[in-house]
Amino acid sequence: MTFRGAIETPVGVVAVESDGAAITRVTWPRGGAGADAGEPDALVHRALAQLTAYFAGELQAFDLPVDLGRQTDATRAVLMALHETVGHGETVTYGELAARSGTDVPARGIGAIMGANPIPLIVPCHRVVASDGLGGYSGGRDGEGLLTKRWLLEHEGALPTALF
């Protein structure tokens, strides 16, 4: 059974899914679709409360069980290295994350793994940047991926606030 819930955030509606034992998905529903589908369980309520605290600047580390679903060993290693070693207010380059993961995934492959992360924000793919800039980001409202990434990094103090 899948449990769902959603909250409005400064970067759009964020929806959370749980299988009752772990958080299995975090998304930005397109056009609000799926934001209200299903019922939340205690774990979804806990995740939404933690996300609310994160966006209020009151939480720096999520304390939630996560389940990445079916992944290759390399993908799982990369996502877990990100989840366990890149904290609030920190960034890591695609190449640095590849090295931290202990895999032979090249930096370009790390970018693809970040784009397929099923649990953004909690597994903080927004903290992975290119060696020469922000890199990409697929989260946030339609067409606002990089604006969302910049907002999240500014919110965490990893980037100075934009002047305009």
| One domain, residues 80 and 147 | yes
| One domain, residues 90 and 121 | yes
Question: Does the residue 160 lie in any domain?
Answer: no
For residue 90, give the CATH number of its domain: 1.10.10.10
CA distance 64 to 7: 17
Question: Does the residue 164 lie in any domain?
Answer: no
Which residue carries 């060696």 as its tokens?
131
| One domain, residues 42 and 87 | no
Query: Kind of pairing, strands 12-18 and 3-9?
Result: antiparallel
Q: Note the pLDDT tens digit of each residue in 16-70.
A: 999 999 999 999 998 655 555 578 899 999 999 999 999 999 999 999 999 999 9
Q: Note the pLDDT tens digit of each residue in 123-136.
A: 999 999 999 989 99
Q: Which amino acids are annotated catalytic? A: 125
pTM, two decimal places: 0.92
* 5, β-bridge pairs: 16
CA distance 2 to 130: 35
Evaluate whether 81 touches 117 at the Cβ level (below 8 Å): no
CA distance 123 to 65: 11
Position 140 scores a pLDDT of 93
Q: Name the average pLDDT for the chain.
A: 92
Evaluate whether 128 touches 153 at the Cβ level (below 8 Å): no
Q: Which domain holds residue 78?
A: 73-155
Please determine, for residue 12, whether its predicted confidence score (pLDDT) is greater than 60. Answer: yes
CA distance 133 to 76: 25
| One domain, residues 7 and 46 | yes
| One domain, residues 77 and 144 | yes
Position 161 scores a pLDDT of 72
Question: Does the residue 148 lie in any domain?
Answer: yes
| One domain, residues 48 and 98 | no
| One domain, residues 39 and 103 | no
Short-list 85, 86, 93, 87, CA closest to 130:
93
Position 159 scores a pLDDT of 83
- Total residues found in the chain within this entry: 164
33, 63, 93, 96, 129 from 51: Cα distances, Å: 20, 11, 24, 27, 22
Q: What average pLDDT does the segment 4-22 reach?
A: 97
pLDDT band at 1 (very low <50, low <70, confident <90, very high): confident
Q: How many domains does the chain have?
A: 2
CA distance 149 to 131: 15
Helix ranges (DSSP H) in the chain: 42-55, 73-85, 94-101, 107-115, 145-155
| One domain, residues 87 and 144 | yes
| One domain, residues 79 and 147 | yes
